[in-house]
Every structure is written in structure tokens, then in C-alpha cells.
Amino acid sequence: MDLSIIVPVYNVEKYIRPCIESIFKQSLNESRFEVIIVNDGTKDHSMEMIEDIIAQHNNITVINQENLSLSVARNNGIAAAKGEYILMPDSDDMLIDNSLPQLLEKAIESQVDIIVADFLVSSNSKKIENLINIKQERFEFKEKTGEELFLEDLNPNQCYVWRALYRNKFIRKNQLSFVPDVYYQDVPFTHEAYLKANKCIKTTWKLNVYRRGRQGAATSSFNKKKALDFCTVIAKTWELRLLPNLTPKVLRKLNDDIYASFIATIYASLHIFKDTSTLIEILDNLKQKAPDLKFSHGIKQKTETFLFRSMPYFYIILRKLHWKCIKH
């Protein structure tokens, strides 16, 4: 079997049917792929919305589990996957019509560890239905090493696993998995995958339509749980610096990517939490999870490291002042 498509499902009754329907608009023979739907204990009518589709296709498998998180759902889907390659679309997004065959054929032909595609974004001004049937004429791509893909193409703010095909053998050999029960689990997974990959492809071919900011999405709001999860994500990504044979360029970018996640956590927390005690708690949580975390790229990062580690209250005050300046 060429491909396993893993779709976690949790409280997406408004979006899951178009997502699953888009998978079957790819002009792929159903004997070539399987769809693994992981019901993560959804509390709405998501599964009822697609029960007729499940009945119509012999290549769909349903895994039912308690609500254990998107991370665990993906891990369980990977464990069950039989395809040579794995695709992990989000259940509220859609695949562009007939976008998958070209990517799959190139992946199989080249035997790459990862092939990373482009995507479109759906906003209020662009109806998603007008985006999924775009015509794509030319498949342009570039072969890269994992290090090149990491250095040249990995945006720390766009660590989307749903835009890539991963070789099943590569995932299993390197024991890649998602951190259980945390938001933003794509960040350490994507960094680790790129750093461990050998042969990769980057293409401008568009695979998905991403629903940005839909209500209820994991990235549409921020709260204390997400702030503490971001601390976990930063700590797990920080651990990757211990991988063998990382070049100085890779270590420098890894430092800067983690710093970007750190700053994103700080500013999101400043926006939501008004009491200093909660902000101090978040910093303390990060220091506990990553006791040797430090940013060393330039005087600014070194100074900031000293302040948040040794003078957290003063650091929060300074960041609050900076936040006020940005808002005004």
C-alpha cells in the first residue's frame, strides 16, 4: 500500500465531512491508500456526519479511543498505518482536488523521507469551496537534505505536519512521535523530523486549504493550559540540540526557532493574563521543564536569558512595558 491518511476527529462536526470528502477527490485508486479515522472521544456528532462515507468505502478504518488528545490520536494512527507514506491532515481542513497524486508519485519515485508541499489559507474573504478546485499546471520541486530543508524552509511559526508526506519507515526507524496531551505538538515533531531526515523534497505544489482561526481550533485562542503546553514544546525542542552531528548553522537556527517560540509564549501570555503571578508561574514552569535553557545568539538574547532566569519579576515588568509600547 502506498499511503496512509490519518485523520483525528474531535468536535469537528461542521468540518469533518468536507475533509473526508476531499480525500476521495484525489483520483487515486482506493487500493493504493487507506484512511485511518481516529475518533478521539468526540462529544459532538462528528462521527455521525461521516458514517455513510465510512460505509461506502472499504479502505477506511476507524479507531475509537477516549479523549486522549490530538497527539495521542496521531500516534495511534501512525502505529496502525500500513502505507509506505503517511499524510496527517487536520480534520477541519481540506485537500485541494487532485493535489495528492503528484506528491505521492514523486515521493515513491524518489524514496524521500519527507516531501513538503505548499498550501492555501481560507479567510472570511475567500470561501474554501473556491480554493479546493484550483488548477495547478506545473509541478516544480527541489531535492534537499534534511539539514537544507531545516535551514532554508522551516518557519518556526508554521510547523504544520499536514502539509507533508512522511515515509513510514523513516518515522518508525527514528521513533518519531507527538508529545502526548499538548497543543502545538507539531513544533518539536517537525523540527526533529527535518533534523533526522536524509533525502527530502520541497515543492511549491499546493496540497491543503487551511482554515485559519476557525472557532474551536487549537490555535484560535490562548489560555493557561496552552501557555504551559508551550513550555513543554519549548523544552522538547530544546532537547534536540543534543542530537549528534549538528552543525553550527543548525544549532544557531535551532536556538533562534526556540527563542521565537519563547517570545510568542510571552506575548500571548501578556495579552491574556493581567496578573503578574500567573506570568511568573509560566516562567517557573519553563525553567522547571528546561533547567538549562538559554538563548545565546547576540547580546539581546543573552541579556533576556539572564533576566527571565534570575530576575523574572523584573523581566515581566519590562515585557509589560514593551507590550504597551507595541499596542500603542
State the CB neighbour count (10 A cutoff) for residue 55: 9
Confidence at residue 215, expressed as pLDDT on a 0 to 100 scale: 53
Of 187, 211, 235, the one marking the end of a domain is 211
DSSP type of residue 35: E
Q: How far apart are the first and last CA of the chain?
A: 56
Same domain for 310 and 264: yes
Same domain for 170 and 242: no
Confidence at residue 128, expressed as pLDDT on a 0 to 100 scale: 76
Is 315 within a domain? yes
Same domain for 247 and 99: no
With beta carbons less than 8 A apart as the criterion, state whether 38 and 9 touch.
yes
Same domain for 147 and 61: yes
Same domain for 193 and 308: no
Same domain for 126 and 237: no
With beta carbons less than 8 A apart as the criterion, state whether 26 and 99 touch.
yes
What DSSP letter does each residue of 245-265 carry, written as one string? T--HHHHHHHHHHHHHHHHHH
Domain count, the chain: 2
**Residue 98 in 3-state DSSP?**
coil
Confidence at residue 295, expressed as pLDDT on a 0 to 100 scale: 94
With beta carbons less than 8 A apart as the criterion, state whether 149 and 194 touch.
yes
Same domain for 230 and 295: yes
Write out the residue range of the structural domain in which residue 99 sits: 3-211
| Closest of 213, 151, 162, 160 to residue 187, by C-alpha | 160
Q: What is the pLDDT along the chain (328 residues), one digit of tens a residue?
A: 999 999 999 999 999 999 999 999 999 999 999 999 999 999 999 999 999 999 999 999 999 999 999 999 999 999 999 999 999 999 999 999 999 999 999 999 999 999 999 999 987 545 777 788 888 989 999 999 999 999 999 999 999 999 999 999 999 999 999 999 999 999 999 999 999 999 999 999 999 999 886 554 544 578 999 999 999 999 999 999 999 999 999 999 999 999 999 999 998 998 899 889 999 999 999 999 999 999 999 999 999 999 999 999 999 988 888 777 766 5
Degrees to nearest 5, angle at CA 228 with 227 and 234: 90
Alpha helices in the chain (DSSP H): 16-23, 46-49, 51-56, 70-80, 100-110, 146-153, 168-173, 186-196, 224-238, 248-272, 276-289, 299-310, 312-327
Give residues with Cβ within 8 angstroms of 184, minimum separation 6: 218, 219, 226, 229, 230, 233
Is 63 within a domain? yes
pTM listed for this prediction:
0.94
Q: Are strands 114-122 and 164-167 parallel, antiparallel or unpaired?
A: antiparallel
Confidence at residue 101, expressed as pLDDT on a 0 to 100 scale: 97
Same domain for 157 and 238: no
- Provide the grid cell at 318: 519590562
